[in-house]
Amino acid sequence: MEIKIRKNVLDRNQNKANEVRKLLRAKQVLMVNIISSPGAGKTSLLERTLENLKGKFRIGVIEGDITTDRDAQRLKIHDVPIIVINTEGGCHLDSHSISKVLPEFDLDHLDVLFVENVGNLVCPSHFDLGETFKLAVVSTTEGDDKPIKYPMLFRESKAVLLNKIDLIEYTNFSKAAFNADMSKVNGNVPVFEVSCTRNIGMEKWYNWISEQIKYVIQNKL
Amino acid sequence: MEIKIRKNVLDRNQNKANEVRKLLRAKQVLMVNIISSPGAGKTSLLERTLENLKGKFRIGVIEGDITTDRDAQRLKIHDVPIIVINTEGGCHLDSHSISKVLPEFDLDHLDVLFVENVGNLVCPSHFDLGETFKLAVVSTTEGDDKPIKYPMLFRESKAVLLNKIDLIEYTNFSKAAFNADMSKVNGNVPVFEVSCTRNIGMEKWYNWISEQIKYVIQNKL
């Protein structure tokens, strides 16, 4: 019985996600669903990325948080539209909450919408938000075994950011082990080795995400 | 309707948790439900703790993992009974899965059962396993804002381990900010500053957990 209930919830989420995806496609807006453990660096990534891209593209942000607006406060200085969704205990965003806040953005004049999901390597992977693609963020300090232990996110993501690369020397993180597991789980995605805090390796990420945005908006007025 | 279904699941979980708690109390076994983000150091904590306590107490371990038995493999050399529960995608352990594996331990000759939950700061906090208490593990590399952003776990825990204290100098973690948030969320719990990997600050933790175990088993044969 439980499985059936879960299926209903997922079905309803999927239907709404399909609507969101259709709308965003019509408006030629790229939506990135950013997923990681708590504290892996999603907000730091957004800080750097907004700084770099905001002169080139029209950006919006949805901040998913259980409670508080702390992450949104950190991004405020970049002067892009930000909506906070507090899940009030919920462990992931869903397509209904995204659908509800979309009208608050001027989608006709937006190129990319970054969604920072709740910090959680498990549940957000199960809920399609209508995004163009998922982005996995993982940090060296979490250990090299995350792709094999939490495979769903890494299997579903279009790219992986390996953050806190500056701290790797203080950990027992093995790049060889990480890459071996990644290639078992999903061998076809780029892995960007970066430090958002120390601004290392970010150019390749900026170039890649810019290409993704351009691909979506290429025929937009 | 969704809320009702969720309530049923939680009710059934609570009933079974009460049974587990009653059984463990009768057998005078302390059960610790260890919860953290992925990669915060639950397994490293167990490696050190088993090493230190296994001559003094009779220990069992339940390893909760979505898939794989990697954590159990790391603990194997300590030669204590370990049961792995694979949740197959599930984001937390529940009392039913604990109840099912308990008969595999010799509870009459056990003092403490450490349960390593699935790496997740959110969902495991909602599910009582029948444990004596919850233990929160959080690492400096995750940032100092975890207690305020994920308050439920910190509110429900009897102690907090602040791990990776050796890496604090490479991060922007502020102890003052962390402690200020902790005292808002739950001012009454001890916070142990440790590095499980580099074996820093562990004595205070060993002493504290030993006291907890002794308190439960004091009249046991």
Q: Hey, what are A15's tokens?
A: 């239907």
Distance between A38 CA and the closest CA of chain B, angstroms: 6
pLDDT score for B5: 64
Q: Cβ of B141 and A164 within 8 Å? A: yes
ipTM (interface predicted TM): 0.91
Give the C-alpha distances (Å, rounded to integers) separating A157 from A191, B106, B150.
11, 43, 25
Give the β-pairing of A191-193 and A133-139. unpaired
Q: Hey, what are A198's tokens?
A: 């120390």
Give the C-alpha distances (Å, rounded to integers) separating B154 from B18, B148, B187.
22, 9, 10
Kindly state whether A185 is in contact with chain B, defined as any CB-CB distance less than 8 angstroms: no
Cross-sheet strand order for the sheet of B82-86: B82-86, B59-65, B112-116, B30-36, B133-139, B157-163, B191-193
pLDDT score for A5: 64
pLDDT score for B7: 77
Q: Write out chain B residues lying below 8 Å of A151, CB-based.
A: 66-67
Kindly state whether A201 is in contact with chain B, defined as any CB-CB distance less than 8 angstroms: no
Per-residue exposure over A118-150, b if at least 16 CB sit within 10 Å of its own CB, e if not: bbbbbbbbbbbbbbbebbbbbbbbbbbbbbbbb
Encoded amino acid at B149, one letter: K
Q: Is residue B130 pLDDT above 50, yes or no?
A: yes
Q: How confident is the model over B17-54, as pLDDT tens digits?
A: 999 999 999 999 999 999 999 999 999 999 999 999 99
Axis crossing angle, helix B2-26 with helix A2-27, rounded to the nearest 10: 130
**pLDDT tens for chain A, residues 1 to 221:** 455 667 788 899 999 999 999 999 999 999 999 999 999 999 999 999 999 999 999 999 999 999 999 999 999 999 999 999 999 999 999 999 999 999 999 999 999 999 999 999 999 999 999 999 999 999 999 999 999 999 999 999 999 999 999 999 999 999 999 999 999 999 989 999 999 999 999 999 999 999 999 999 997 75
CA-derived radius of gyration, chain B = 17
Judged by DSSP in three states, B151 sits in helix
Distance between B216 CA and the closest CA of chain A, angstroms: 32
Cross-sheet strand order for the sheet of A133-139: A82-86, A59-65, A112-116, A30-35, A133-139, A157-163, A191-193
Nearest to A150 among B38, B141, B172 (CB): B38
Give the β-pairing of A82-86 and A59-65. parallel
Q: How far apart are CA B200 and CA B192, in angstroms?
A: 10
Q: Cβ of B91 and A122 within 8 Å? A: yes
Contact B137/B36 with Cβ under 8 angstroms?
A: yes
Encoded amino acid at A174, one letter: S
Q: Write out chain A residues lying below 8 Å of B9, CB-based.
A: 2
Kindly state whether A39 is in contact with chain B, defined as any CB-CB distance less than 8 angstroms: yes
Distance between A155 CA and the closest CA of chain B, angstroms: 13
Q: What is the 3-state secondary structure (H, E, C) of chain A?
A: CHHHHHHHHHHHHHHHHHHHHHHHHHHCCEEEEEECCCCCCHHHHHHHHHHHHCCCCCEEEEEEECCCCHHHHHHHHHCCCEEEEECCCCCCCCHHHHHHHHHHCCHHHCCEEEEECCCCCCHHHHCCCCCCEEEEEEEHHHCCCHHHHCHHHHHHEEEEEEECHHHHHHCCCCHHHHHHHHHHHHCCCCEEECECCCCECHHHHHHHHHHHHHHHHCCCC
Which residue of chain B comes nearest to A142, CA vs CA?
B39
Q: How confident is the model over B56-105, as pLDDT tens digits?
A: 999 999 999 999 999 999 999 999 999 999 999 999 999 999 999 999 99
Q: Cβ of A122 and B118 within 8 Å? A: yes
Q: Cβ of B149 and A89 within 8 Å? A: no
Q: Hey, what are B94's tokens?
A: 């529940």
pLDDT score for A50: 98
Q: What is the distance between the terminal CA atoms of chain B, rounded to a whole angstrom?
A: 50
Main-chain phi, psi angles of A133, to 5 degrees = -160, 165
Distance between B36 CA and the closest CA of chain A, angstroms: 9
pLDDT score for B96: 97
pLDDT score for B1: 43
pLDDT score for B154: 97
Kindly state whether B174 is in contact with chain A, defined as any CB-CB distance less than 8 angstroms: no
Kindly state whether B10 is in contact with chain A, defined as any CB-CB distance less than 8 angstroms: no
pLDDT score for B4: 65
Kindly state whether B105 is in contact with chain A, defined as any CB-CB distance less than 8 angstroms: no
